[in-house]
Amino acid sequence: MPINIPRAPKKKEVTQKIRVGKKFVSQLPKGMHDVLPADFAYVERIEKIFKKVAAFYGFERIETPVVEDVKLFERGTGLTSEVVQKQMFLLKVSGGEGTLALRPEYTPGVARAYIESGLVHTMLPAKFYYEGPVFRHEQPQHGRFRQFHQIGFEIFGSDDPSYDAQVIVATYKIFDEMKIKDVVVKINSIGCKNCRPAYVKKLKEYYKNKQSKLCRDCAKRYNDNPLRLLDCKEEKCQPFKAEAPQMLDHLCASCKRHFTSVLEYLDGVGIPYLIDQTLVRGLDYYTRTVFEIFAAGVESALGGGGRYDYLFETLGGPKIAAVGSAPGVERIIMAAKAQNIQLPPKLRPKALLIYMGDEAKKKAFVLLEEFYRAGIVVHEAFSRDSLKSQLRVADKEGVELALILGQREVFEEVIIVRDMKSGNQETIPLKRIVEEIKKRV
């Protein structure tokens, strides 16, 4: 008896109402978020571009543990940084192993791994890239999570300004290839060991008799980390910031040359930048170039980085100049969504395998594996035994063909190939079906 195949009911979503009782105990921890399939479309696009860019510039992948000894961040990221002071997730480990921290950033861990693994003896300069989760116990708000994801570049072993420019260009390319518009690099130089102390002294002199008028954070910054007085966002501190002495006027000749050279490299390849003398960054290890990258539609930085020529020494290692950058994946996705960026269409399966009856289902199960071996993407709807609902799935997945097996087809060792658009169908011997579909892919 021929199979009477109904047309797939159009435009009807395959959804089901499932009641979730009140007893379902689950609460996402504050500041955490799930990454659901719709967002993975963005994540995968970002990863693809990121890896292409990394490969082009010769970066090699590295991954460090999610937990590290807290001392690594106290010494590396720095005791005066907000990240270390307020934002670390700490784990007390029994057995005298001290305290571990969920990494609040990658940079000190990558530096540690470079020395500890001995790569320092074989790779110099060394270029690394990484991607993974990062944890900061911040007050959650728009674009600020407690677990987020960074992708990043680090270059160890050179203080050449072309490398400062290269990490900026490589980072910029990710946004550019994502088609994010109105991207701007804010850039500054915060000098080196030679010129910064004199500038900081001047800055403190300037702020000395203004301390009582500053916000509470700035009053603390005055003693702990005076440079950060410059990036305060509080209304009451703005007039003082505007009149404060500027770092660029106090750079030593070598830092000045370095900064000019970085800008020239950026000019050479047309990267739009804005010199922002209030940009100092929140992590303690930076020297010379610092930058943050912004885009229309998102208030916070999509990425940031800079040069850190003393980090290795601070960690007790040799002197190794370094520069790097780390964009946040969630922020890139926010910008892409705010700017209505369309992703390339998802690759659709060519066909859906449809079965009627137990024997046909078993045959379809085996046939699916033959398609896998042939490298042809074919989907199934094994949880839906009715023909109508399987056809709905075929429609929802947008497949061109439905491959239909009934009891009779199994018996006669054939399969029906139905064109989902026209409704035309033909019967093909089962042993030829993979080859036949291959021709049409």
Residues that bind ligand HAM (CB under 6 A): 105-107, 136, 138, 143-145, 148, 150, 152, 154, 283, 301-306, 324-328, 330-331
Instruction: Determine if the peptide bond prior to 125 is cis (ω within 30°).
Output: yes
Name the residue nearer to ligand HAM (CB basis): 153 or 265.
153
Determine phi and psi for 164, rounding to 5 degrees: -60, -45
State the minimum distance, in angstroms, from the CB of residue 110 to ligand HAM.
Answer: 8
Give the tokens for residue 142: 């728009």
Identity of the residue, 237 or 329, whose beta carbon is nearer to ligand HAM in the bound complex: 329
Least CB distance to ligand HAM at residue 281 (A): 7
Closest CA to 181 of 302, 281, 41: 302
Q: How far apart are CA 431 and CA 49, in angstroms?
A: 40
Give the burial string for 190-203 (b: 16+ CB within 10 Å, else e). Answer: bbbeebbeebbebb
Nearer to ligand HAM (CB atom), residue 108 or residue 349: 108
The answer to whether 141 and 315 are in contact (CB under 8 A) is no
Nearer to ligand HAM, 327 or 349 (CB): 327
Q: Closer CB to ligand HAM, residue 139 or residue 386?
A: 139
- At 75, list the tokens: 């010494």
Run of H or E including 264: helix 253-268
CB of 392 vs ligand HAM, minimal distance in Å: 39
Min dist CB 211 to ligand HAM, Å, is 27
**Min dist. Cβ of residue 148 to ligand HAM (A):** 4
Residue 270: enclosing H or E segment and its boundaries? Answer: none
Q: What is the CA radius of gyration of the chain?
A: 29
Question: Strand locations in 115-208, DSSP E?
Answer: 126-135, 147-156, 183-189
Closest CB to ligand HAM among residues 145, 265: 145
Considering beta carbons, is residue 64 or 325 the nearer one to ligand HAM?
A: 325
State the minimum distance, in angstroms, from the CB of residue 128 to ligand HAM: 10
Phi then psi for 17, rounded to 5 degrees? Answer: -90, 115
Phi-psi category of 412—alpha, beta or left, where left has phi over 0 and alpha has psi -120 to 50? alpha
Rounded Cα–Cα distance for residues 109 and 410 (Å): 59
Minimum CB distance to ligand HAM smaller for 225 or for 390: 225
CA gap 122, 125 in Å, rounded: 9
Please give the DSSP secondary-structure letter assigned to residue 349.
Answer: P
Strand partners, 131: 151
Shortest Å distance, C-beta 342 to ligand HAM: 22
What is the nearest approach in angstroms of ligand HAM to the Cβ of residue 101? 14
Q: Which is nearer to ligand HAM, 199 or 285 (CB)?
A: 285
CB of 290 to ligand HAM, least distance (A): 9
Distance CA 339, CA 333 (A): 10
